[in-house]
């Protein structure tokens, strides 16, 4: 069994072990593979039986050019990195990693919100610059702070991460509105289900946790921003493509929105002309919500178990219907 890992560095920069995969076959690990170089992707896959990838795309051309591939394992929950339909047409199961970073991503969404509202970073920096020592009063603030208790958080996408975020928001004293593909009893205990327009109109904070699909691409755009409260806050730890970044930047610069906090952008790594880079009231982190070591170890364990289950004839977490 030949196993090729196309982009192992972000999953394992050196603090984890590939030994689980090595017990199942001969493993070749590439730290990075050029995303847009199909020829190089094909060369690296070669005559492998198994392809493991995080963000390096496995497109139809690669699957056709590498007929020995029998299984594709994803080191992520998102499945858009692989042409799953074409893999299915070739009888190749594609397995993903579900629910490995629920609490970490919810934590990061709230961390972005708290930084926007409490401005811990700028005040710590001011103290280190000596401004508190020079202050005539016992207290000072560089910018107004905001209390979250009593405000409304609208959560778009009320799956596991959305519900986890909602529970934290409730603990902070916030009211929770939610919209999702289906209502659940657990969800109703956390928040009130409503339609998107109502959520946008009533929410002081809108947090995105829905998957990126054709119907959700550009969900936050000029028209939907116009429906939001003046001075609202947007948080996005879902997918960059959920947001029309030019429309968001315009709303931030005009003051229509008070601030935004994003962990994802439309093209990653971020491009130098991304309009959000020009917005002082936009916090941007480099897609790190999923990266605590505990989460990455969970990814490793599930990915190994997915492959082991496939080899045993009982594939798990298959996203393209091939059993």
- CATH number of the domain where residue 19 is located: 3.40.50.720
Nearby residues of 138 by Cβ (< 8 Å), 6 or more positions away? none
Per-residue pLDDT for 181 more than 90? no
Total domains present in the chain: 2
Cα radius of gyration (the chain): 22
**Percent of the chain at pLDDT above 90?**
98
Q: Is the dihedral of CA 87, 72, 29, 78 positive or negative?
A: positive
On whether both 146 and 264 belong to a single domain, the answer is yes
How many residues does this entry show for the chain? Answer: 323
Burial class (CB in 10 A: 0-12, 13-18, 19+), 16: middle
pTM (two decimals): 0.94
For residue 61, give both structure tokens.
Answer: 């051309």
For tokens 């959520």, the residue is: 199
Nearest to 278 by CA among 256, 241, 258, 248: 248
Q: Assess if residue 319 is contained within a domain.
A: no
For tokens 């051309």, the residue is: 61
Q: Is the dihedral of CA 295, 115, 153, 229 positive or negative?
A: negative
Per-residue pLDDT for 233 more than 90? yes
Q: Assess if residue 323 is contained within a domain.
A: no
Q: Assess if residue 207 is contained within a domain.
A: yes
Q: Which of 44, 108, 163, 287 is catalytic?
A: 287
On whether both 220 and 255 belong to a single domain, the answer is yes
**pLDDT, position 31:** 98
**pLDDT, position 287:** 97
Distance between start and end Cα atoms, the chain: 19
Nearest to 265 by CA among 284, 240, 289: 240
Nearest to 54 by CA among 265, 268, 283: 268
On whether both 271 and 302 belong to a single domain, the answer is no
Burial class (CB in 10 A: 0-12, 13-18, 19+), 285: middle
User: pLDDT grade, residue 274 (50/70/90)?
Assistant: very high
**pLDDT, position 323:** 87
On whether both 153 and 269 belong to a single domain, the answer is yes
Q: Which of 44, 86, 239, 296 is catalytic?
A: 239
**279 CB neighbour count, 10 Å cutoff:** 20
For residue 99, give both structure tokens.
Answer: 């629910």
- Contacts of range 212-216, beta carbons closer than 8 Å, 24 or more positions apart: 212/78, 212/80, 212/238, 212/239, 212/241, 212/242, 216/242
On whether both 200 and 272 belong to a single domain, the answer is yes
On whether both 59 and 153 belong to a single domain, the answer is no
Q: Assess if residue 322 is contained within a domain.
A: no
- Half-sphere exposure (CA, 13 Å, Cβ side) for 91? 4
Annotated active-site residue 316? The verdict is no
On whether both 8 and 59 belong to a single domain, the answer is yes
Q: Assess if residue 176 is contained within a domain.
A: yes
Per-residue pLDDT for 303 more than 90? yes
Which residue segment(s) compose the domain that 91 sits in?
Answer: 2-100+293-311
**Rounded-to-integer distance, Cα 238 and Cα 78, Å:** 10
Annotated active-site residue 268? The verdict is yes
**Rounded-to-integer distance, Cα 4 and Cα 305, Å:** 16
Per-residue pLDDT for 112 more than 90? yes
On whether both 122 and 157 belong to a single domain, the answer is yes
On whether both 234 and 205 belong to a single domain, the answer is yes
Q: Assess if residue 316 is contained within a domain.
A: no
On whether both 235 and 269 belong to a single domain, the answer is yes
Beta strands in 17-64 (DSSP E): 26-29, 50-53
The SS3 call for residue 208 is strand
Q: What are phi and psi of 282, to 5 degrees?
A: -120, 115
The SS3 call for residue 243 is strand
On whether both 96 and 110 belong to a single domain, the answer is no
On whether both 115 and 22 belong to a single domain, the answer is no
Q: Assess if residue 254 is contained within a domain.
A: yes
What mean pLDDT is reported for the chain?
97
User: pLDDT grade, residue 307 (50/70/90)?
Assistant: very high
pLDDT digits (tens, 9 = 90+) for 117-161: 999 999 999 999 999 999 999 999 999 999 999 999 999 999 999
Q: Assess if residue 267 is contained within a domain.
A: yes
**pLDDT, position 207:** 98
Annotated active-site residue 209? The verdict is no
């Amino acid at each position: 069994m030949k196993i090729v890992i196309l982009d192992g560095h972000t999953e394992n920069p050196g603090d984890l072990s590939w030994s689980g995969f090595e017990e199942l076959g001969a493993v070749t690990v590439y730290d990075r593979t050029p995303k847009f170089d199909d020829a190089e992707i094909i060369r690296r896959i070669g005559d492998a039986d198994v392809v493991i990838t995080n963000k390096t795309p496995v497109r139809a051309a690669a699957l056709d050019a590498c007929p020995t591939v029998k299984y594709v394992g994803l080191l992520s929950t998102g499945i858009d990195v692989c042409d799953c339909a074409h893999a299915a047409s070739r009888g190749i199961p594609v397995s993903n990693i579900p629910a490995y970073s629920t609490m970490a991503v919810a934590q990061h969404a709230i961390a972005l919100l708290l930084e926007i509202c409490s401005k811990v970073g700028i005040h710590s920096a001011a103290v280190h610059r000596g401004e508190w020592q020079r202050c005539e009063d016992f207290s000072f603030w560089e910018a107004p702070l905001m209390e979250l208790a009593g405000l409304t958080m609208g959560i778009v996408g009320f799956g596991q991460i959305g519900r986890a975020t909602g529970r934290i928001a409730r603990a902070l004293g916030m009211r929770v509105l939610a919209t999702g593909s289906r209502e659940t009893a657990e969800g109703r205990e956390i928040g009130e289900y409503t339609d998107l327009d109502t959520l946008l109109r009533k929410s002081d904070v809108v947090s995105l946790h829905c998957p990126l699909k054709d119907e959700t691409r550009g969900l936050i755009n000029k028209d939907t921003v116009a429906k939001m409260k003046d001075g609202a806050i947007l948080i996005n730890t879902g997918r960059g493509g959920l947001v029309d970044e030019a429309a968001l930047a315009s709303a931030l610069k005009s003051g229509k929105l008070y601030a935004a906090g994003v962990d994802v952008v439309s093209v990653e790594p971020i491009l130098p002309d991304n309009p959000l880079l020009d917005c002082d009231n936009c916090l941007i982190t480099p897609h790190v919500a999923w990266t605590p070591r505990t989460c990455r170890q969970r990814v490793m364990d599930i990915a190994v178990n997915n492959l082991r289950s496939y080899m045993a004839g009982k594939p798990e977490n298959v996203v393209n219907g091939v059993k």
